[in-house]
A and B are shown apart, each in its own frame.
Chain A
Amino acid sequence: MTENKNDKKIGVFVCHCGINIASTVDVDKLVEEFSKYSDVSHTENYKYMCSDPGQKLISAAIKKHKLNGLVIACCSPTLHENTFRRLSENSGLNAYLCEIANIREQCSWVHEDKTEGTKKAIKIVKTIVEKVRKNESLTPVEVPVTKKALVIGAGIAGMQAALDIADAGKKVILVEKSPSIGGHMAQLSETFPTLDCSQCILTPKMVDVAQNPNITLYTYSEIEDLEGCVGNFKVKIRKKARYIDEELCTGCGICVNKCPSKKALDEFNVELTTRPAIYVPFPQAVPNIPVIDKENCLFFQKDACRICEKVCGPKAIRFDQEDEFIEEEVGAIVVATGYDLLPITEMREYGYGKYKDVINGLQFERLLSASGPTEGEVRRPSDSKIPKDVVFIQCSGSRNPEYYKSYCSKICCMYASKHAMLYKHRVPDGHSYIFYIDIRSGGKGYEEFVQRAQEEENVVYLRGRPAKVYQEGDKMVVWGVDTLSGQQITIKADLVVLAQAIIPRNGVEELIKKLKIQTDEHGFLSEAHPKLRPVETNTSGIFLAGCAQAPRDIPETVAQASGSAAKALTLLSIDKIHHLPIVATVDEDLCSGCEICIGTCPYSAREIDEEKKIAIVNEVLCEGCGSCVSACPSSASQQKNFTDGQFEEMIKAILE
């Protein structure tokens, strides 16, 4: 038995986790080993430590043996650290004197040999015993919550989240990059599976957003910078110059009508048409205030024209307007940045975008839309003829890990069926063909919708991915296959519509860097847990909604946005949040005030105490990342319960 050099009374509890641990680790051997330690006052093993009887035996031991340190050898701390720390606190022992030794994920699950597994488990538990020997009792840092939310992106996801938060009586800052709110949903014609007009169901919500007194809307604005953390973020918003005085503009539209520069490609009509240099994206835009597109404005490019300025009744044109910066403080953030489509110019087999009559799904939505460039008459872009044979190609760029995107874009099966159906409604004597690989129609009324397209609307479904599309005269020839009949198929079409893969919104990478959140390999935002924390990011206080996270349809987006709003509201409805006390601390005798830590800290938590000439820690801002600790040249900065001294002993234990 080793001599008890300290006044520690540690308890070591070993969990069998059924057979998850016990089949690869000799749990009796562990108990035997740690009972030899002079400062381990109690040790035992049990089938499920996390179960009620398991917790009771730990609690009883804490009280009986007056334990002042606790090591639970079990699964990963991401699962039950909270359980055992809470138990510890409730049994009269500071939560931060309780540590988890992960002998499941890091040992039993990855080994087969019981002798070796047991040896490794002993080493793992030993290191944690060393750590607990020098752990201090800590108290969580209390931080007040700023009761206001920021929602980034005002498509259907962002609008829904903002409205839910605002309706609960909390203030919302809604920031939208483009000149109007509405997002892609404003571009759609009718929505599956009920075929209700997209704008008709969307515009009332847009008006709600505009009129809600709890929502402050910043359109044509972007996030410039973000500081702080959960409960207290500081956000800097860049309000881009519209070159219009928003107070004076009446939205009469004379400037738009008179603008002589009409060459710019219209973003709202997905480049099917052009628009003036001064424009409002669409008639129901919120706010109904134009924007001057500098790149195409004759004044900005050639110092000429100024017609808009002359015709404007209220004299609202401001060519000298500059970007404005607004600072706001918020407690929670919802990111709803949405999606774009994989550009057709990348599709090698379908003509690299060189054929005018090969278009994407959103362009076809505009052709179907009553507010579109053809007022809902389906006319093809090259010669404005009404196409009589239309081919829809699904999985264009999706499910293709070799050349494009490996994932399924999820909504294409449904919208291709909708497109084919709506086309038949517009052009009754037309023929529509859909090339699919699998039809994925999981959703309320979705399968019935696809069946209706096949049975009642005479849409021809062909199973196979076409290999190429090329032009022959005024026809687009599609080379396909129907794998069900085993036949190669050629269709001479007038128009080809590609269901392009859904990708994260263009330029969102910059924003992600500012928010310091994570993405997956494709650039979609990562959730904290795929099943149990689907609307939270790994950064506490930042939530997700809509296609920014993964491709999804409108009902799912709205549901998820409400979920995000509820999460944000949970945070905003408490007065104070508890911040982990595992923060940096400074040994005043060692600190030379060199300021290296200040430059290293990503959370602006280090600052100089002018009186003492040392670098102190703002515990409210400190996230406990440890950057300053490793950067400090004189070891003055230490992380509480993760000190250099603790690590030395832990490393020694593992090397013994």
Chain B
Amino acid sequence: MQKEISTKKIFSKLLEKFETISGENTFNCYQCGCCSAACPVASEMDLLPSQVMRYIQIGLTDEVLNGNTMWICATCYACQARCPRGIDIATVMETLRQIKLRKNEDWTVLGKIDVDELNKLPPIALISNLRKMTG
């Protein structure tokens, strides 16, 4: 399917929000792919970390927010340790989680989550949830 893109869609309120929370300039990334080469869990992701950056650069944010990359990311910082442009990619992932999580419940009581459901959740989602509304 062809994707229609526009500068209006790229330089959106969402991008502004994304850059405010993450503190990163999206267009700093020049797509060398070193983060993706370094990522120990990229094989489980439907978009590589460098592809996530690219999708944001061309305004395909819905695809990123509905993808699994940010939930697979374990915040190990292998990507950030190598990024030649000094982009904190782990924080980019956390930013995406925050943007997604802010749309729903503001507070989760861990004890009330069903054990089966807890097992299914990516641990990083819980962590992000607890960090919610702090950054």
Assembled-state Cα–Cα distance A404/B30 (Å): 16
Q: Is A467 an interface residue (CB 8 A)?
A: yes
Report if A466-B51 is in contact (Cβ < 8 Å); known contacts: A401-B84, A402-B83, A402-B84.
no
Please report which residues of chain B, range 19-69, place their CB below 8 angstroms from some CB of chain A when the two chains form the complex.
Answer: 30-39, 42-43, 47-48, 50-51
Partner of B32, one of A399, A403, A404: A399
Do A481 and B33 have beta carbons less than 8 Å apart? yes
Do B84 and A466 have beta carbons less than 8 Å apart? no
Do A488 and B32 have beta carbons less than 8 Å apart? no
Residue of A nearest to B85 (CB): A402
Q: How many A-B residue pairs have CB under 8 A?
A: 68
Q: Is B86 an interface residue (CB 8 A)?
A: yes
Which A residues lie within 8 Å of B39 (CB)? 488
Assembled-state Cα–Cα distance A464/B34 (Å): 7
Partner of B38, one of A404, A437, A467: A467
Assembled-state Cα–Cα distance A375/B31 (Å): 40
Do B78 and A467 have beta carbons less than 8 Å apart? yes
Do A465 and B48 have beta carbons less than 8 Å apart? no
Do B51 and A437 have beta carbons less than 8 Å apart? no
Assembled-state Cα–Cα distance A465/B42 (Å): 15
Contact with B along A386-411 (1 / 0, CB 8 A): 00000000010001111110000000
Q: Is B82 an interface residue (CB 8 A)?
A: yes
Which A residues lie within 8 Å of B47 (CB)? 486
Assembled-state Cα–Cα distance A50/B38 (Å): 58
Q: Is A267 an interface residue (CB 8 A)?
A: no
Assembled-state Cα–Cα distance A349/B34 (Å): 10
Assembled-state Cα–Cα distance A402/B47 (Å): 25
Residue of B nearest to A402 (CB): B86
User: Would you give the shortest CB distance from A398 to chain B, in whole angstroms?
Assistant: 9
Report if A465-B84 is in contact (Cβ < 8 Å); known contacts: A395-B32, A399-B32, A488-B37.
yes
Which A residues lie within 8 Å of B34 (CB)? 464-467, 481
Residue of B nearest to A480 (CB): B37
Q: Is A90 an interface residue (CB 8 A)?
A: no
Do A483 and B31 have beta carbons less than 8 Å apart? yes
Q: Is A463 an interface residue (CB 8 A)?
A: yes
Which B residues lie within 8 Å of A486 (CB)? 47-48, 51
Which A residues lie within 8 Å of B38 (CB)? 467-468, 479
Interface SS, A side: loop
Report if A488-B48 is in contact (Cβ < 8 Å); known contacts: A465-B32, A467-B38.
yes
Assembled-state Cα–Cα distance A400/B34 (Å): 11
Partner of A399, one of B43, B48, B84: B84
User: Would you give the shortest CB distance from B39 to chain A, in whole angstroms?
Assistant: 7
Which A residues lie within 8 Å of B43 (CB)? 488
User: Would you give the shortest CB distance from A462 to chain B, in whole angstroms?
Assistant: 9
User: Would you give the shortest CB distance from B120 to chain A, in whole angstroms?
Assistant: 26
Partner of A481, one of B30, B36, B83, B85: B36
Assembled-state Cα–Cα distance A262/B43 (Å): 51
Which A residues lie within 8 Å of B50 (CB)? 464, 481, 483
Which B residues lie within 8 Å of A481 (CB)? 33-34, 36-37, 48, 50
Assembled-state Cα–Cα distance A479/B50 (Å): 15
Do A465 and B37 have beta carbons less than 8 Å apart? yes
Assembled-state Cα–Cα distance A489/B42 (Å): 11
Assembled-state Cα–Cα distance A479/B78 (Å): 13
Residue of A nearest to B54 (CB): A483
Residue of B nearest to A484 (CB): B33
Please report which residues of chain A, range 481-533, place their CB below 8 angstroms from some CB of chain B when the two chains form the complex.
Answer: 481-483, 486, 488-489
Residue of B nearest to A462 (CB): B33
A349, A437, A464, A479: residue with the most chain B Cβ atoms closer than 10 Å: A464
Do B31 and A403 have beta carbons less than 8 Å apart? no
Assembled-state Cα–Cα distance A175/B42 (Å): 55
Partner of B84, one of A403, A463, A464, A482: A403
Do B85 and A401 have beta carbons less than 8 Å apart? yes
Which B residues lie within 8 Å of A403 (CB)? 84
Assembled-state Cα–Cα distance A544/B14 (Å): 49
Assembled-state Cα–Cα distance A630/B50 (Å): 57
User: Would you give the shortest CB distance from B131 to chain A, in whole angstroms?
Assistant: 26
User: Would you give the shortest CB distance from B63 to chain A, in whole angstroms?
Assistant: 13
Assembled-state Cα–Cα distance A489/B84 (Å): 19
Report if A483-B48 is in contact (Cβ < 8 Å); known contacts: A464-B33, A464-B34.
yes
Which A residues lie within 8 Å of B36 (CB)? 464, 481, 483, 488
Assembled-state Cα–Cα distance A479/B34 (Å): 9
Which A residues lie within 8 Å of B42 (CB)? 488
Which B residues lie within 8 Å of A480 (CB)? 33, 37
Contact with A along B80-91 (1 / 0, CB 8 A): 001111100000
Do B86 and A401 have beta carbons less than 8 Å apart? yes
Residue of A nearest to B32 (CB): A465
Contact with B along A440-480 (1 / 0, CB 8 A): 00000000000000000000000111111000000000011
Which B residues lie within 8 Å of A489 (CB)? 37
Which A residues lie within 8 Å of B86 (CB)? 401-402
Assembled-state Cα–Cα distance A403/B32 (Å): 14
Please report which residues of chain A, range 335-349, place their CB below 8 angstroms from some CB of chain B when the two chains form the complex.
Answer: 349
User: Would you give the shortest CB distance from B84 to chain A, in whole angstroms?
Assistant: 4
Assembled-state Cα–Cα distance A401/B28 (Å): 11
Do B83 and A437 have beta carbons less than 8 Å apart? no
Assembled-state Cα–Cα distance A483/B32 (Å): 8
Which B residues lie within 8 Å of A349 (CB)? 82
Residue of A nearest to B49 (CB): A481
Assembled-state Cα–Cα distance A486/B55 (Å): 13
Which A residues lie within 8 Å of B51 (CB)? 483, 486
Assembled-state Cα–Cα distance A389/B84 (Å): 27
User: Would you give the shortest CB distance from A423 to chain B, in whole angstroms?
Assistant: 23
Assembled-state Cα–Cα distance A235/B101 (Å): 71
Residue of B nearest to A436 (CB): B32
Residue of B nearest to A478 (CB): B37
Assembled-state Cα–Cα distance A483/B78 (Å): 17
Please report which residues of chain A, range 538-597, place their CB below 8 angstroms from some CB of chain B when the two chains form the complex.
Answer: none
Which B residues lie within 8 Å of A488 (CB)? 36-37, 39, 42-43, 48
Assembled-state Cα–Cα distance A399/B33 (Å): 13
Report if A400-B84 is in contact (Cβ < 8 Å); known contacts: A467-B78, A481-B36, A488-B43.
yes
User: Would you give the shortest CB distance from A447 to chain B, in whole angstroms?
Assistant: 21
Assembled-state Cα–Cα distance A463/B36 (Å): 12
Assembled-state Cα–Cα distance A468/B78 (Å): 11
Please report which residues of chain B, range 68-104, place their CB below 8 angstroms from some CB of chain A when the two chains form the complex.
Answer: 78, 82-86
Contact with A along B103-130 (1 / 0, CB 8 A): 0000000000000000000000000000
User: Would you give the shortest CB distance from A441 to chain B, in whole angstroms?
Assistant: 18
Which B residues lie within 8 Å of A468 (CB)? 37-38
Assembled-state Cα–Cα distance A155/B79 (Å): 41
Assembled-state Cα–Cα distance A467/B42 (Å): 13
User: Would you give the shortest CB distance from A303 to chain B, in whole angstroms?
Assistant: 51
| Other contacts beyond A402-B83, A488-B48: 8, CB < 8 A | A464-B32, A464-B36, A466-B37, A481-B34, A481-B36, A481-B48, A483-B36, A488-B37
Which 9 residue pairs are nearest across A and B when measured between Cβ atoms? Answer: A464-B33, A467-B38, A400-B84, A467-B37, A481-B37, A402-B86, A483-B33, A465-B32, A465-B34
Q: List 7 A-B contacts (CB under 8 A).
A: A399-B84, A402-B86, A464-B50, A481-B34, A481-B48, A483-B36, A483-B48
